Structure 1
Amino acid sequence: MIDVHRLDRANLERAYGLDSQRLLPWPELNAPFEGAWCVLRPHSTSTAHSHHEYEIFIALAGAATLVVDGEPHPFSAGDIVRLPPGSTHCVANEGDQDFEYYGVWWDTEMSAQFTARHEASVS
């Protein structure tokens, strides 16, 4: 049996200067990561920030500029980017259409929690 969690575009939440829907591990998923579908509206820039987690971005639709530690990088549908922990990053959409990407992040604590849930489920 599969478990489908649908994207609810009408109820995206505002976070880091963009609209998103977070994917948190639900009991059936039991993943060592979290993620979010992100929509950056035209002519806007997400909030620059850094954190201790590892992170990847997967560009799904449109084109934007990913700024990492002050360096701009073209970022468009089909691209995958790895962001090292501690890097300051934001995404700038200078175009006339939404830019959509999926972000996935993880750290050692999330991995340890995953391991504990996994071991408990197979015991």
Structure 2
Amino acid sequence: MIEIRTLDRENLERAYGLDGERLKPWPALNSPFEGVWAVLRAGTESTPHAHHEYEIFIAMAGSATLVVDGRKYPFTAGDIVNLPPGCLHQVVNETDADFEYYGVWWDTEMSQQFLARHEGRSS
């Protein structure tokens, strides 16, 4: 059975300088990763940060600049980027339109917890 969850654009939560909706909690989803639909408002930038998780960003709408360890990269709808653990990264939107992307992150602990939930199950 599938379940489609609709993005609640009216109730996005503020974190890291952008508005977003986290993937979890979602009782129907059992995954070894976490994610967020992120909206970076026109003329704003996300908070620079680094973390131990692996992460990818998938650009969904608009364009922005991705800054990773001080280097700038154009980042446009349809692009995907791999962000290794420990890199300092942020997204800068210098345009007049919102930029939207999906971020997905994971680490070994998340993977181990996922595997433990499935221990003993057949594929």
TM-score bin, normalised by smaller chain: over 0.9
Code of the aligned partner of 1:90: Q
Q: Partner residue of 1:83?
A: 83
The correspondence of residues 33-72 of structure 1 with structure 2, limited to 5 A, is 33-72=33-72
Give the secondary-structure state (helix, strand or coil) at the position aligned to 1:59: strand
Question: By percentage of residues, which structure has more helix?
Answer: 1
Q: CA deviation at 1:4?
A: 1.3
Does 2:23 align with 1:23? yes
Structure 1 residues 25 and 118, CA gap change in structure 2 (3 angstroms): farther
Code of the aligned partner of 2:101: Y
Q: Deviations over 1:51-86 (max 9, x none)?
A: 000000000000000000000000000000000000
Q: CA deviation at 1:14?
A: 0.1
Give the secondary-structure state (helix, strand or coil) at the position aligned to 1:4: coil
Which runs of 5 or more residues in structure 2 are unaligned? none
Q: Deviations over 1:95-116 (max 9, x none)?
A: 0000000000000000000001
In 1, the alpha carbon distance for the partners of 2:2 and 2:25 equals 15
> What TM-score comes out, normalization by structure 1 length?
0.95
Does 2:104 align with 1:113? no
In 1, the alpha carbon distance for the partners of 2:107 and 2:26 equals 18
Structure 1 residues 46 and 101, CA gap change in structure 2 (3 angstroms): same
What is the count of residue pairs matched by the alignment? 122
Given that residues 25 and 34 in structure 1 are in contact (C-alpha distance below 8 angstroms), is that contact kept between their aligned partners in structure 2?
Answer: no
61-70 or 111-120, which moves further after superposition? Answer: 111-120
Code of the aligned partner of 1:48: P
Q: How large is the RMSD of aligned CA atoms in angstroms?
A: 1.3
Aligned structure 1 segments of 4 or more residues deviating by more than 6 angstroms: none
